[in-house]
C-alpha cells in the first residue's frame, strides 16, 4: 500500500475539530527556559552551522538572551478556519485506547518562512488519544513524518519521538502549526532526523493545537503525550510504520523533561513499545531550584508559563486567587503568547510582586511539584543525559542530582557535562553527541555507562 501523497487534503476523521495554528520559529533557540530541541542522529559534523547562527556565533554567546532575538514565531492571525476545524476535539472524546488516531490528514511542512525548503518526507498532521495528569483521556495533536527515501539500514526503519521545547502557551504556538508556515524554530533539527532516514513523531503536548490550556512542565501529561505519539505513528495506516520499529525519544529542556518522563512511564504505561534509548539535555528535573534561578531574571515569563501549566493540570491550585494585581496583569498577558513574545514582557519580574504569598512553597503546590519531579520510578532503557555548566536558564546542579538518582537505581546512564555555553548555545552545540548516541542505540552498540 502506497502512502497518501501530501498534496491530497482529503481527511479521515471522527467528529469535531479545532485548531490553533501558528508556531515556532527560525532555528536557534527555543529560547531560554524550557526549550528543548533535538537534532539529527548519526554521524554529523559538530561544526555544522544552524540556519540562523553559526557555530562561532553560538560559541561566542555569553547569554541566551543574546541569542533569542533570532527567533521568529507566527501569531494568531496565521490560524485558518480549516485549522480550527481540524483541531477542535469532539466532546465527548471518541472511545479508544491511548495512541488511537482520532483524525489525520496529509500536511505540508517547511523548514523556512519562504517555503523554499520542503521536508523530504510524507507528512501528516494528526489528533490522537492520550492521558492527562489526572489519568483522564485527552486529545493531543501532532505531526508524523516518513522520509521519502527508502530505509536502507538493517531491520525496520527507526521511529523517533521528538519531544519539543518551549513554544509558548497560545494554541497557535504548536509545532504542527509552525511547520506548515515555515516558522517552526526546531524545523532544521527535525529535518536532520528525517535526513538520517528515521520516521518522526512530534507531539504538540496537551493544549497546544487542541483546545484547552497547555500543561507546561507537567511531567505526567507530557510523558504520556510523547509515548502516545509513537503509538499513534504506528496506528496511522498511511505511514506504514510497524509496531516493531525500533524507537527512541529525544528532547532538550522542556523536551528533556518530557523525554525522561517518557522513559520513566514506559515500563508501566507503554511497555509494548520497543524503546531502545532516550536522550535528554538541559533537563529541568526539579522545578524548585529552576524557579529560584528564573525569579527576578530575564526569563521570568517561563516561570509564569510553568505556574499556568500546573494550574491547568490541577485546577485545585487556584492560581488566580494568589495573584497580585501586577501579577494578574502579567500572567493574563503571557497566557496566550508564544515564547518569543512572552519573554520580554516578564523580564526581571519576581515572585514577590506576582504572588500574594509564598505560593510555590505551599503544601498544595509542593505536592504537585513533587509528583512531577522525575526520579521516583526507574527507566528500563539506557539514558543519555547532558548539560552545560554554563547554562543560564536551567541550573546544572539539579540535573546532576537526577543523574545520581538514576545511577543509584541501576539505570544505564551516560552523562555528559559540557562547557558549550548558555542554554540556547547548548541546545545546538551539545546535540551532536546525543545524536551519535541515539544512532548507536539503533545500531545495537553497547552503552558506555558513566555511573
Number of domains in the chain: 1
Task: Using the predicted structure, report yes or no on whether residue 221 has a pLDDT greater than 50.
Answer: yes
pLDDT of residue 65: 64
Query: DSSP E strands: which ranges in 54-165?
Result: 101-106, 121-131, 137-147, 159-163
**Cα–Cα distance list, 79 to 121, 155, 278, 372 (Å):** 24, 40, 33, 32
Q: Which three cell numbers stand for residue 230?
A: 509513537
Residue 204 falls within a domain, yes or no? yes
At 143, the pLDDT band (50, 70, 90 cuts) reads very high
Q: Which residue has the higher pLDDT, 54 or 28?
A: 54
At 68, the pLDDT band (50, 70, 90 cuts) reads low
Which spans in 210-253 are helix H? 219-234
At 72, the pLDDT band (50, 70, 90 cuts) reads confident
Residue 329 falls within a domain, yes or no? no
At 435, the pLDDT band (50, 70, 90 cuts) reads confident
The model's pTM: 0.88
pLDDT of residue 186: 84
Classify 287 as helix, strand or coil. Answer: helix
pLDDT of residue 7: 35
Least confident interval from 98-112, 182-196, 225-239, 248-262: 182-196
Mean per-residue pLDDT, 4-23: 32
Mean per-residue pLDDT, 334-343: 90
- The CATH number assigned to the domain holding 255 equals 3.40.50.1820
At 67, the pLDDT band (50, 70, 90 cuts) reads low
Residue 451 falls within a domain, yes or no? no
105-114 b/e (C-beta count within 10 Å ≥ 16 → b): bbbbbbbbbe
Q: Any idea which residue has 505513528 for its cell?
A: 233
Residue 17 falls within a domain, yes or no? yes
The tens digit of pLDDT for each residue in 346-370 reads 999 999 999 999 999 999 999 999 9
**Using CA atoms, how far apart are residues 38 and 251, in angstroms rounded to an integer?**
5
pLDDT of residue 308: 95
Residue 309 falls within a domain, yes or no? no
Residue 316 falls within a domain, yes or no? no
Range of the domain at 406: 12-286+371-442
pLDDT of residue 17: 28
Average pLDDT value over all residues in the chain: 86
Residue 342 falls within a domain, yes or no? no
The tens digit of pLDDT for each residue in 403-422 reads 999 999 999 999 999 999 88
At 33, the pLDDT band (50, 70, 90 cuts) reads very low
Task: Using the predicted structure, report yes or no on whether residue 196 has a pLDDT greater than 60.
Answer: yes
Residue 246 falls within a domain, yes or no? yes
pLDDT of residue 43: 38
**Using CA atoms, how far apart are residues 109 and 176, in angstroms rounded to an integer?**
8
Amino acid at each position: 500500500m502506497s502512502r497518501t501523497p501530501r498534496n491530497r487534503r482529503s481527511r479521515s476523521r471522527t467528529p469535531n475539530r479545532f485548531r490553533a495554528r501558528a508556531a515556532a520559529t527560525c532555528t536557534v533557540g527555543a529560547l531560554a527556559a524550557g526549550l528543548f530541541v533535538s537534532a539529527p542522529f548519526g554521524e554529523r559534523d559538530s561544526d555544522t552551522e544552524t540556519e540562523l547562527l553559526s557555530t562561532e556565533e553560538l560559541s561566542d554567546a555569553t547569554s541566551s538572551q543574546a541569542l533569542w532575538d533570532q527567533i521568529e514565531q507566527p501569531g494568531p492571525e496565521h490560524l485558518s478556519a480549516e485549522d480550527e476545524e481540524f483541531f477542535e476535539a469532539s466532546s465527548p472524546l471518541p472511545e479508544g485506547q491511548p495512541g488511537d488516531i482520532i483524525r489525520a490528514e496529509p500536511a505540508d511542512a517547511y523548514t523556512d518562512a519562504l517555503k523554499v525548503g520542503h521536508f523530504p518526507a510524507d507528512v501528516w498532521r494528526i489528533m490522537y488519544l492520550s492521558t492527562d495528569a489526572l489519568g483522564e483521556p485527552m486529545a493531543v495533536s501532532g505531526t508524523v513524518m516518513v522520509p521519502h527515501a527508502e530505509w536502507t539500514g538493517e531491520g525496520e526503519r527507526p521511529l523517533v519521538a521528538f519531544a519539543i521545547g518551549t513554544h509558548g502557551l497560545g494554541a497557535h504556538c504548536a509545532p504542527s502549526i509552525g511547520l506548515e508556515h515555515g516558522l517552526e524554530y526546531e524545523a532544521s533539527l527535525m529535518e536532520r532526523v528525517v535526513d538520517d532516514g528515521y520516521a518522526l513523531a512530534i507531539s504538540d503536548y496537551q493544549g497546544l493545537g487542541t483546545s484547552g490550556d497547555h500543561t507546561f512542565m507537567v511531567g505526567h501529561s507530557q510523558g504520556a503525550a510523547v509515548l502516545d505519539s509513537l503509538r499513534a505513528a504506528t496506528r496511522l495506516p498511511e505511514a506504514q510504520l510497524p509496531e516493531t520499529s525500533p524507537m527512541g525519544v529525544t528532547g532538550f529542556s522542556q523536551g528533556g523533561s518530557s523525554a525522561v518522563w517518557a522513559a520513566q512511564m514506559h515500563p508501566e504505561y507503554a511497555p509494548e513499545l520497543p524503546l531502545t534509548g532516550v536522550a535528554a539535555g538541559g533537563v529541568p528535573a526539579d522545578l524548585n531550584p529552576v524557579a529560584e534561578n528564573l525569579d527576578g531574571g530575564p526569563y521570568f515569563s517561563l516561570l509564569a508559563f510553568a505556574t499556568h501549566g500546573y494550574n491547568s493540570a490541577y485546577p485545585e491550585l487556584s492560581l488566580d486567587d494568589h495573584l497580585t494585581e501586577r501579577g494578574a496583569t502579567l500572567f493574563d498577558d503571557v497566557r496566550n503568547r508564544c515564547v518569543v513574545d512572552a519573554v520580554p514582557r516578564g523580564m526581571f519580574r519576581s515572585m514577590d510582586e506576582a504572588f500574594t504569598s509564598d505560593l510555590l512553597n505551599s503544601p498544595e503546590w509542593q505536592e504537585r511539584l513533587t509528583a512531577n519531579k522525575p526520579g521516583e520510578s526507574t527507566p528500563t532503557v539506557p539514558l543519555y543525559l547532558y548539560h552545560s555548566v554554563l547554562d543560564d536558564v536551567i541550573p546544572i546542579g539539579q540535573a546532576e542530582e537526577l543523574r545520581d538518582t538514576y545511577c543509584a537505581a541501576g539505570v544505564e546512564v551516560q552523562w555528559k557535562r559540557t562547557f558549550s555555553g548558555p542554554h540556547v548555545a547548548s541546545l545546538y552545540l551539545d546535540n551532536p553527541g546525543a545524536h551519535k548516541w541515539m544512532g548507536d542505540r539503533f545500531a545495537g552498540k553497547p552503552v558506555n555507562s558513566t555511573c
